[in-house]
Amino acid sequence: MPNHVGVSIIQVTCIYPGGAPASVLTQGVTDFIPAGTWSVLECPGGTWMKGFTQAVTPSLGGGDDDALANMRLYCSQDSAGSGVGTELTVNSDSRNPWGTPSLCPEGFVGCGLRAKVERNNADNTGINDVHFKCCLFT
């Protein structure tokens, strides 16, 4: 029987305010087979990531868990990183309720991430939890 896996890798591409690439952050497990497909979310030009929320499959005990099933990113309203504007959702998986949104305080935008990964046991679930870092927007 195949092992069900939710989100297995997250990649965030950061850019400078002028649009030049700054860095690419990748967290997760890259060797699951089949590898799955990428969902691309991009905040509208001139806006920044302000926060996110996640939908996680609760533990099934002895069953086949898949952990992080969906994510929603929140973009800023404007180029100054203020407020919350556009919401972007990874996929249409609606099996699990959304958690409480984590938003950067006013004047801050998303600038980093870390992911809790479960692998190499009887029930590999991929990513179980995500935390984004907020940095002062200057």
Q: Does any domain span residue 1?
A: no
In tens, the pLDDT along 37-81 reads 777 788 888 888 899 988 877 766 666 566 777 888 899 988 888
pLDDT, position 74: 92
Q: Does any domain span residue 73?
A: yes
pLDDT, position 105: 92
CA 61 to chain centre: 25
In tens, the pLDDT along 83-102 reads 888 998 887 777 788 889 99
Q: How far apart are CA 33 and CA 138, in angstroms?
A: 41
Question: For the whole model, what pTM was predicted?
Answer: 0.75
Domain region containing 84: 9-136
Q: Is the dihedral of CA 47, 75, 6, 115 positive or negative?
A: positive
Q: Does any domain span residue 23?
A: yes
Residue 19 has pLDDT above 80, yes or no: no
Confidence of residue 1 (pLDDT cuts 50, 70, 90): very low
Count structural domains, the chain.
1
